[in-house]
Structure 1
Amino acid sequence: MLSQAEIGIIIRMWESIAPRAEEFGAEALFRMFTTFPHTKTYFAHKDISENSPFLRSHGKNVIDAVGLGAKHFNTLTTTMAQLSAFHAYILMIDPYNFKLLSHCILVTLSSWKGDEFSPEAHAAWDKYLSALSAVLAEKYR
């Protein structure tokens, strides 16, 4: 469970990322596709090259969802229920990919935020992204 201080860290950092969600999301997704090539299989029909229009658009959608969850952390399960069902029943995404993307988001945060991405911020974001991944994977059980 996240403390109020940790939620505060996430919200403050999110506010600085939100205006650049498209760029941030594209970078995080590109990291995932590069580092974990098997995750590209779901996007074989799309242009997922670095900074492609699709990658930027989908990256924004992903990061906007991360931000929505952060703003509604206390109701994360209900906030993300529709997205969880969509990924499980329609897209049939391997739920392990949520953990891989979470890792890539952490790396991107570190790259973007430098010293602001303190050990406390890292721990808070890691806990939040782990909770988000678990919620997104709930429908697979």
Structure 2
Amino acid sequence: MLTAEEKKLICRFWDKVPQKDVFGAEALYRMFITYPQTKTYFPHFDLHHGSDQIRSHGKKVVTALDNAVKCLDNLGQALSELSSLHAYNLRVDPVNFKLLSQCFQVVLAVHLGTEYTPEVHAAFDKFLSAVAAVLAEKYR
């Protein structure tokens, strides 16, 4: 559970994140490089840095995160459709949600430096863990 203070911190920080689409694409690319097994779900993608497919999917990732930030009190409802899509249609290994979360945090830390304080990191870790858990709910 996110505390009221963590929710405020997440909302304030998320509003300050520049180039969210770029960060989403970089996180995906980082995941593909660091965890090559995740590429199996994207056989039709050009997985080179900066490809249109990675940029497009990165935008989808941050759009979902943006929606989740706006619905912190009801992540389950906000991400239900996305959870169903991944579980029933795409059949993505739910471990990948955690891997992408880790990569996204690395991208935030690299680009935002001192603004990505330990408090922000801890709050985003809880938030992204909650997002990953909601996305994995339909697998049970």
Give TM-score, length-normalised by structure 2.
0.97
* Cα shift at 1:12: 1.6
Q: 1-side partners of 2:33 and 2:83: how far apart?
A: 24
* Unaligned ranges ≥5, structure 2: none
| 1:51 corresponds to 2:29 | no
Distance 1:27 1:47 in 2: 14
Task: Name segments (4+ residues, structure 1) moved above 2 Å.
Answer: none
Separation in 1, partners of 2:118, 2:21: 26
- 1:21 aligns to what? 20
Q: TM-score, normalised by structure 1?
A: 0.96
Q: Does 1:91 align with 2:77?
A: no
Q: Which amino acid aligns with 1:23?
A: V
| RMSD value, Cα | 0.9
CA-CA distance at 1:21 after TM superposition: 2.1
Q: Which amino acid aligns with 1:72?
A: C
Q: Distance in 1 between matches of 2:7 and 2:102?
A: 19
Paired residue type of 2:11: I
User: Does structure 1 residue 109 correspond to structure 2 residue 108?
Assistant: yes
Q: Which runs of 5+ in 1 are unaligned?
A: none
Question: Shift in Å at residue 16 of structure 1?
Answer: 2.2
Which one-letter code corresponds to 1:71 in the other structure? Answer: K
- Number of equivalent positions: 140
Question: Aligned partners of 2:48, 2:54: CA distance in 1, in Å?
Answer: 7
Deviations 1:67-87 (Å, cap 9, x if unpaired)? Answer: 110110101001100000000
Percent identical across equivalent pairs? 51
Which residue of structure 2 lines up, in the alignment, with residue 132 of structure 1? 131
